[in-house]
Chains A and B, each alone.
Chain A
Amino acid sequence: MADNLGTSPDEVQFRFRDDEAVDHGTVTVDACCDQTNAAAVRIEPGDDARLLLPFLDRLALVEVNFPSFGDGRGYSAARILREAGYTGELRAVGQVLIDQLSHMRRCGFDSFAPDKRLDEEDARRAFATWDNVYQRAADARRTIADKRHEA
């Protein structure tokens, strides 16, 4: 049931965007590929995020579900979408915990709807854990190596 899927804007605890949140349900990756009008989709861990690449223009919201925080496939899904130029909302949902926030942010997530609300202060600290980063990722932050060799 497509309309049972997805989180509502009320469930989003952290959002790093200025645009209006999409206020309708998401569809599965399969349904998104079959339908021509879906603007919101939800990726499960086993889904191939690349199936969505032909439809990125019409997508305003992609939810990536983490049924278990130890299943890290969603991090790759997020980066793949950002690498392909997706600029819409990328929302981490499910078992989203404090200690995953900074990595998720680096992989391109810009909204977070944890299934259990997180302590605001702990989360604020978690988002700010790393002043510097070693790797290039979806957030386009300048890396330590870049800074070492800047002209």
Chain B
Amino acid sequence: MYQYDQYDQAMVDARVEEFRDQARRRLEGKLTEDQFKPLRLMNGLYLQLHAYMLRVAIPYGTLNARQMEALADIAEKYDRGYGHFTTRQNIQYNWIKLEDAADILADLARVEMHAIQTSGNCIRNISADHFAGAAADEVVDPRPYAELMRQWSSFHPEFTYLPRKFKIAVIGSETDRAAMRLHDIGIRIVKRDGEVGAQFYAGGGMGRTPMIAPLIRDFVPLDQLITYAEACLRVYNRYGRRDNKYKARIKILVHELGAAEYTRQVEEEFAHMLSVGVEPPLEELARIAAHFADPAFVEGPKTLDRSDPDFALWVDRNTHRHKHDAYVSAVISLKPAGGIPGDATADQMRLMARLAKQYSFDELRVMHTQNVLLPHVRIADLHALWTALDEAGLGSPNMDTIEDIIACPGLDYCSLANARSIPLAQRISERFAQTGRTEVIGELKLKISGCINACGHHHAGHIGILGVDKKGTENYQLSLGGSEAEDVSLAKITGPGFDEDGVIAAVEKVTDVYLEARAEGERFLDTYRRIGMEPFKEALYG
């Protein structure tokens, strides 16, 4: 994985000192709260319902054991002994004191980490396919491009006060495991006639106005990647709406101009920028790529002893095909039945770090599904790994099932939320685990947001739940048919909402309809797409 050189380290260290100075000027009254707010946000510090929340960047979700251990130390030293992994492959701490923030950033810098641009109206932490460099179906490893973009977007002088936040995802497979087309810019690294380049999508997003990003360029040559991104951003910075924060994301600009006109403007700016010369030297990409060379895979058994049914179930559910046939990628579920999606205690983080060292070439990935991945595990080591995970309560065999719920922090933490998400997720996963239906149903992605900002990705859920405030009480709208994958689609609302008990019953009814109607091999989403909304409505409201 990528390692800082003296320059990367110096940049992060300089940022810590800059923030220390900003915090000092805030305390001395030289900065008003209005002036300080965007500065602390660009260092990941939010003011939430009960305390400050610090969001730490995990670029494209990749970290090593030492970094994971540092995250555990921070959880214990500055928070309440746990952290929360997010849908953008980051980690959040929910109980932070402002006066500790600079020290935490300094602790992070010591392990090549930071909280830079994890919030604010700037280019946010770059996300990527969590199976990058491991998946059997990968065409090109997206991580070198994600790292190149991390450096380009860090402290970008022109794009620090954009109309609104800006999220970029990079993938390198036909399969989309990063919700690429629901990002402000989605990039798929492709190969055409042996030449590697980038496909650009722009103007996707969730939030209150969900949009699927249209393709704006089918092939950007590698030595023009940054230049093209810069052109996309400049057009947005100049013409994105600033009159209304709810219409300020690039998706609205692309929608209002039309994809063709936005593309025309980008191409014009791109042609100009090519003449200016903003692209880093191509050797830089090669230097970065060398950091992502394969670890030293060794041959080994390709099959395993499946006599223990619990182990066999976990293997079937939680492992993913690796490009080397003696290995798999193994998902550590942070979704125990009845647990808080994405939460991990300091002890669990340390265990995951130890297992990564022991079994996965010292590497972990944070998945956008709020789980943690060990990307390269020998098939021969799987049983030992599973045993250790299971003992620590990290062995739930539920990846991509109805228990693998994505949920935002909701009203338990978030100052924007209208309703609680976490307790609902806990009750649903508990309920389906108890009735044993999880396994019968198979793949079903359930996503819960506690307000229309959609941090829980409910628009992209096979089943989506949106919490709203209805005359002072929490009410939950159900939607069906969304997908963040390569078959991307936006979920549609079923009808009137439900109270908390009602929405749990509604989810069960919806799964009943599916089990009744499904054809051989169909996932919930496939059945929904085949039979449409009506049978579900009928069951819910008929």
Contact = CB atoms under 8 A, between A and B. Distances in A.
Interface of A: 45, 48, 69-73, 75-76, 79, 83, 97-100, 102-104, 106-107, 119, 122, 125, 129-137, 143-149
Nearest 5 Cβ contacts at the A-B interface: A72-B161, A106-B157, A103-B157, A145-B280, A145-B284
Contacts of A148: 5, 7, 283-284, 287
A139 B463 CA distance: 50
30 contacts: A71-B161, A72-B162, A73-B237, A75-B158, A76-B234, A79-B158, A83-B272, A98-B30, A98-B31, A99-B22, A99-B35, A104-B157, A119-B30, A122-B25, A122-B30, A129-B14, A130-B14, A132-B10, A132-B11, A134-B152, A134-B154, A136-B280, A143-B280, A144-B7, A144-B11, A145-B151, A145-B284, A146-B280, A148-B7, A149-B283
Nearest to A146: B281
B39 interface: yes
B277 A136 contact: yes
A70 B155 contact: no
Contact of B159 (A48, A71, A72, A102): A72
A15 B77 CA distance: 45
A129 B237 CA distance: 24
A130 to B, nearest CB: 6
A98 B24 CA distance: 13
Nearest to A144: B7
Contacts of B151: 134, 144-145
Contacts of A69: 35, 161
Contacts of A99: 18, 22, 35, 39
Given A83-B276, A97-B35, A135 B157 contact: yes
Given A70-B121, A148-B284, 18 more contacts: A48-B238, A69-B35, A71-B242, A75-B160, A97-B31, A98-B25, A102-B157, A104-B157, A130-B11, A131-B10, A134-B152, A134-B154, A135-B157, A135-B278, A136-B280, A137-B158, A145-B151, A149-B287
B118 to A, nearest CB: 17
Given A69-B35, A134-B11, A129 B18 contact: yes
A79 B154 CA distance: 18
Interface residues of B, number: 41
Contacts of A72: 121, 158-162, 237
Nearest to A139: B157
Contacts of A136: 276-280
Contacts of B155: 103, 130, 133-134
A125 B25 CA distance: 12
A147 B155 CA distance: 18
A75 to B, nearest CB: 5
A141 to B, nearest CB: 10
Contacts of B234: 76
B21 interface: yes
Nearest to B236: A76
A135 B152 CA distance: 6
A75 B157 contact: yes
B14 A75 contact: no
A145 B281 contact: yes
Interface of B: 5, 7-8, 10-11, 14, 18, 21-22, 25, 30-31, 35, 38-39, 121, 151-152, 154-162, 234, 237-238, 242, 272, 276-281, 283-284, 287
A75 B236 CA distance: 13
A49 to B, nearest CB: 9
Contacts of A83: 272, 276
A146 B276 CA distance: 16
A70 B36 CA distance: 11
A72 B426 CA distance: 42
A136 B434 CA distance: 57
A147 to B, nearest CB: 7
A69 to B, nearest CB: 7
A37 B93 CA distance: 59
A144 B4 CA distance: 12
B160 A103 contact: yes
A124 to B, nearest CB: 12
Given A107-B157, A135-B157, A148-B5, A70 B283 contact: no
Nearest to B7: A144
Contacts of A107: 157-158
Contacts of A149: 281, 283-284, 287
A4 to B, nearest CB: 25
Contacts of A98: 25, 30-31
Nearest to B37: A70
* Max chain B Cβ within 10 angstroms of own Cβ: one of A75, A100, A131: A75
B130 to A, nearest CB: 25
Nearest to B276: A83
Given A83-B276, A136-B278, A144-B7, A131 B14 contact: yes
Contact of A137 (B10, B35, B157, B237): B157
Nearest to B36: A99
B238 A73 contact: yes
A73 B243 CA distance: 13
A125 B162 CA distance: 25
A13 B248 CA distance: 33
A48 B235 CA distance: 12
B161 A70 contact: yes
A72 B242 CA distance: 10
Contacts of A145: 151, 280-281, 284
A149 B159 CA distance: 26
A113 B10 CA distance: 30
A48 to B, nearest CB: 8
Nearest to A73: B238
A142 to B, nearest CB: 11
A148 B278 CA distance: 16
B153 to A, nearest CB: 8
Contacts of A79: 158
Contact of A75 (B39, B237, B242): B237
A90 to B, nearest CB: 14
A100 B157 CA distance: 9
A145 B276 CA distance: 17
A48 B5 CA distance: 40
Contacts of A70: 38, 121, 161
